[in-house]
Amino acid sequence: MPVFLLKRLLNAAGVMLAVAFLAFLIFRFVGDPVELMLNEQASQAQRDELRERLGLNKGFVMQFATFVGNAARGDFGISYRNQQEVFTLIAERFPATFELVLVATFLSLAVGIPLGVYTAIRRDSFPAKLLQFVSVLGVSLPSFALGILFILLFSVTLRWLPAFGRGEVVQLGWWSTGFLTSSGRLALILPGITLSLFQITLVMRLVRAEMLETLRADFIRFARARGLPARAVHFRHALRNCLMPVITVTGLQIGNLIAFALVTETVFQWPGMGMLFVQAVTFVDIPVMAAYLIVVSFIFVTLNTLVDLLYAFVDPRLRDDAIAGAANAR
Amino acid sequence: MKTRWLLAAAAALALTGVADAKTLKWGASREIASLDPYSFGETFTLSVLNHVYEGLVRYTGDLKIEPALAESWETVSPTVWRFKLRKGVKFHNGDPFTADDVIASLTRVTDDDSPLKGNLPAYKGAKKIDDYTVDIEVNGPYPLLLNDLTNIYILDKKWMEANNALKPTDSGKGVKGYATDNANGTGPFAIESRRADSKTVFVANKDWWDKPKHNIDRIEFTPITSASTRVAAMLSGEIDFTNVAPLQDLPRLSASSDIKVLQTNELRSVFFAFNLKNALYESDVKDKNPFKDIRVREALYRAIDIDAVQKRAMRGLSRNTGALVAPAIPGYEPSQDERLPFDLDGAKKLLAAAGYPNGFSFQMNCQSDSLVNEEEFCQAVASMWSRAGLKPNLSMGPRSQQTPKRVKGDFDVISFGWANEPMIDAYSLLVQVVRSKSGSGGVFNWGEWGDAKIDALVDKAGVELDNKKRIPMMAEALAIAKKEHLFIPLHQQPMAWAMRNTIASTVQASDNKPRLWLTVMK
């Protein structure tokens, strides 16, 4: 087990280093922040001075080494644009993104699981077929289009829900939450649905497939034969056996949601990490862009590693493979 | 009976002023960089912070310079200006405003690490004469000190000392910015709270030295970067005002009975500039640069059907121009605003006479996210040049990608916009763009389009204190650039604001800066 653990951790560290390098490499070609940071009046001497101050005239290897060394300590430098610490900037925006992702995850489970069960049990009924069809639409409709449609319908025409922003937020230590005010909760609805729609269809299709599989199993037939009510068979016996893969996928999808929140956040002016990234792109704020990529990759890598470790914990065969050096063959 | 009682109650509440607090919700197209006015030399950030901080002088609604924190000024010698400060002014925290604050602010803004140092290029030093008199010394005779000072906001010395903010925020030395998130100015509004990218709240400063022309109690500033979301917020009544109404949505906004669209033209003039180096960057003509021939430049000029550009690419909203600066900019001459007529045959003849009867290819560098409808007008002009027999290669990309190429001179023709801000004077364009690259001049002279006669005039205008002599010098320099067709002027780009009927009136100047202290709500 310790060997396996070490191996997974080294793997994760390797991936992070590669991401850091890619992030850094890409941004070498993004452009020159100096031209965007100074105004029309600045002279050549000031331009050169700023370039020097930002360390842009140092060699590539030097810049990368400094970057990785600092990033490992959680120091992503200072934003070119507003000269605040990048880490603080990201930490400030994280609660907004996280709460949005939380709502989207909750919605995807609360709506996706019942729909999945329904479409599995009544697989031949018209509503179930319609749901299957609509779910294809849900997967293929881009979330920005959906967001704008929602805004047009619920904000402009009906005026029920706010079109942008987080509403009033309450500060709990360094965490800002929108859950505690009514305007904050209202503001979560539209972006939450927009972000969750893809997940809802994913969960629904996953639950449906698993349910269909399980309903064919012997123990279900025995349960039916014993004369248990359909309700008990479906929910207590069948569904419970389907939930493990759903939970795994949901866990892995949280990383995706954080990354893809970027689009939803732009449409709804949601002050989260995605917005921060988009703003950083406009201003060629390289430290912020690099830090964002690394933070999001870090969340991905951590979730994946945790899932791997949990699996290994549950299933000893994986561990034995790892010790035999065949972990990659599975 | 009941209704009457309700009305009376409402009137009573209104009189107390509590229930009648007027809040203006402002949806901007982007966030300001910081609350520190010296942290980022960007016009929009400075214009928002102008509600909180003030300079010694300020622009009126029609862009004339008027006294603000200074009551009057005089030149003691060609290089020393004496400012008499206004008495009885208080900062938002109650500290009185004196000469010490001016000196500390000027020292801070001209610090070597200050990103705004370039906004006060001629500054040499400042001296306190008494509590309400300050002498500012400049490097040499410099006519534009007042223009520059409109954007140098005054901070409270005591407050800066107490919060370790005497120096501008600086990454190199690790100076953390208290002023980044906190503000203490003398302006018409004070910051109540700020959450970056989400909401910044301003409240009216009841002790403002000036007699308020506005009746606003609170401003809620929210950046909404997505244009369609901003329009939706406007239509749904979640914001009262936006200073960037997307052009394609103007008909939709004006169709709503609750919304008024204010549309005019910016100070920013848009033109095409040539690469006048010895060889072209990307062309089938290898041995020489066709653009060095004035006939070729004129041919390109004549081949542009500006009315079609205006109608189709700019949705009828731009102002066609023959001059390189907008009418509101000192140095503008109405006679220079005359354009060469659109003349396709003439253009073909000129090309043939210059030795290119079959045209030649060249690269056009345009940006997708910089000027108003830049992609559209670049495409329109490229097709017009093709019709004249030329082979323009349009290279389109975001600003962050195109700028490094432009700076290096890796282009043949570029689209270019210049607003002459913050100084609002043609000298800005002349010294930064038109003048040959040398010393402090020609920073944006990316295509080596300088001219010795123009350089001489620009240098003379730069030290002439008498506007009656200085402005004709600038006009003459601009006339030479026009005669030589160093640039092809296109238009002043359109700008549009939108406001709900909760706002009774506002002042929209062509510098595109909202001045909410001149705005009245219903």
Cis before B37 (ω within 30): no
> Is A48 in the B-facing interface, judged by CB distances under 8 Å?
no
- A40 contacts B428? CB cut-off 8 A: yes
Amino acid letter at A46? Q
Answer with the residue of higher pLDDT: A142 or B352: B352
Listing DSSP states for B169-234 in one string gives PBTTTTB--STTT----SSSEEEEEEETTTEEEEEE-TT-SSPPS---SEEEEEE--SHHHHHHHH
> Is B117 in the A-facing interface, judged by CB distances under 8 Å?
yes
Nearest residue on chain A to B408, judged by CA atoms? A32
Nearest residue on chain B to A163, judged by CA atoms? B233
> Is A266 in the B-facing interface, judged by CB distances under 8 Å?
yes
Answer with the residue of higher pLDDT: A2 or A262: A262
Query: Tokens 């406007």 identify what position?
Result: B234
Q: How far apart are CA B497 and CA B358, in angstroms?
A: 46
- A50 contacts B228? CB cut-off 8 A: no
**Which chain B residues are closer than 8 Å to A77 by Cβ?**
171
Nearest residue on chain B to A32, judged by CA atoms? B404
- E strands, B293-389, are 319-320, 361-367
The predicted structure's pLDDT at residue A256 = 85
Answer with the residue of higher pLDDT: A292 or B177: A292
Q: How far apart are CA A190 and CA B233, in angstroms?
A: 14
The predicted structure's pLDDT at residue B176 = 67
**Which chain B residues are closer than 8 Å to A31 by Cβ?**
399-401, 403-404
A 203-262 residues with CB < 8 A to B: none
Query: Looking at CA atoms only, how far is residue A264 from chain B in angstroms?
Result: 11
The predicted structure's pLDDT at residue A68 = 81
B 35-74 residues with CB < 8 A to A: 39-43
- A49 contacts B443? CB cut-off 8 A: no
- A43 contacts B118? CB cut-off 8 A: yes
What is the CB neighbour count within 10 angstroms for residue B397?
15
**Chain A interface, best mutation among B229, B242, B402, B430, by max A CB count within 10 A:** B229
Q: Write down the mean pLDDT value for chain B.
A: 91
Nearest residue on chain B to A46, judged by CA atoms? B118
Confidence of residue A241 (pLDDT cuts 50, 70, 90): confident
Nearest residue on chain A to B110, judged by CA atoms? A46
- B30 contacts A275? CB cut-off 8 A: no
Q: How far apart are CA B196 and CA B181, in angstroms?
A: 9
Listing DSSP states for A188-201 in one string gives HHHHHHHHHHHHHH
Query: Tokens 């034969």 identify what position?
Result: A225
Number of A:B CB contacts under 8 A? 155
The predicted structure's pLDDT at residue B14 = 46
B 301-360 residues with CB < 8 A to A: none
Out of A156, A275, A276, name the one closest to residue B232 (CB): A156
**Which chain A residues are closer than 8 Å to B43 by Cβ?**
39
Q: Check whether A174 has a pLDDT greater than 80.
A: yes
B 443-482 residues with CB < 8 A to A: 443-444
The predicted structure's pLDDT at residue B179 = 87
- A81 contacts B232? CB cut-off 8 A: no
Read off the pLDDT of residues A16-60 as tens digits, 9 standing for 90 and up. 888 888 887 766 666 667 776 666 667 777 778 777 777 777 777
Q: How far apart are CA B6 and CA B362, in angstroms?
A: 74
> Is B421 in the A-facing interface, judged by CB distances under 8 Å?
yes
Q: How far apart are CA A144 and CA A128, in angstroms?
A: 27
> Is A81 in the B-facing interface, judged by CB distances under 8 Å?
yes
Q: How far apart are CA A311 and CA A306, in angstroms?
A: 9
Nearest residue on chain A to B119, judged by CA atoms? A41
On the CB side of B40, how many CA atoms lie within 13 Å of its CA? 29
The predicted structure's pLDDT at residue B111 = 87
The predicted structure's pLDDT at residue B15 = 45
> Is A282 in the B-facing interface, judged by CB distances under 8 Å?
yes
How far is residue A111 CA from its own chain's centroid? 19
Confidence of residue B43 (pLDDT cuts 50, 70, 90): confident
The predicted structure's pLDDT at residue A217 = 85
| pLDDT more than 90, % of chain A | 19
Read off the pLDDT of residues B462-509 as tens digits, 9 standing for 90 and up. 999 999 999 999 999 999 999 999 999 999 999 999 999 999 999 999
Q: How far apart are CA A146 and CA A138, in angstroms?
A: 9
Answer with the residue of higher pLDDT: B99 or B408: B99
Q: Check whether A320 has a pLDDT greater than 70.
A: no
- A282 contacts B369? CB cut-off 8 A: yes
**Which chain B residues are closer than 8 Å to A268 by Cβ?**
229
Sign of CA dihedral B210, B214, B216, B220: negative
> Is B369 in the A-facing interface, judged by CB distances under 8 Å?
yes
Helix (H, G, I), strand (E, B) or coil at A132: helix
> Is A57 in the B-facing interface, judged by CB distances under 8 Å?
no
Out of B401, B403, B443, name the one closest to residue A44 (CB): B443
- B237 contacts A281? CB cut-off 8 A: no
Read off the pLDDT of residues B243-259 as tens digits, 9 standing for 90 and up. 999 888 999 999 999 99
Query: CB within 8 A of B347, min separation 6: which ones?
Result: B298, B299, B300, B302, B303, B388
**Chain A interface, best mutation among B109, B197, B266, B414, by max A CB count within 10 A:** B197
- B41 burial type by CB count under 10 A (0-12 exposed, 13-18 middle, 19+ buried): buried
Query: Looking at CA atoms only, how far is residue B81 from chain A in angstroms?
Result: 22
The predicted structure's pLDDT at residue B10 = 47
The predicted structure's pLDDT at residue A40 = 64
Strand partners, A170: A177
- If you average pLDDT over residues B396-408, what whole number do you get? 86
Read off the pLDDT of residues A248-275 as tens digits, 9 standing for 90 and up. 888 888 888 888 889 999 999 999 999 8
Query: Tokens 């005039």 identify what position?
Result: B457
- A275 contacts B225? CB cut-off 8 A: yes
Query: Looking at CA atoms only, how far is residue A220 from chain B in angstroms?
Result: 51
Read off the pLDDT of residues A189-220 as tens digits, 9 standing for 90 and up. 999 999 998 889 989 999 999 888 888 888 88
> Is A291 in the B-facing interface, judged by CB distances under 8 Å?
no
Out of B39, B232, B237, name the one closest to residue A152 (CB): B232
The predicted structure's pLDDT at residue A39 = 63
Paired tokens of B153: 């906001």
> Is A182 in the B-facing interface, judged by CB distances under 8 Å?
no
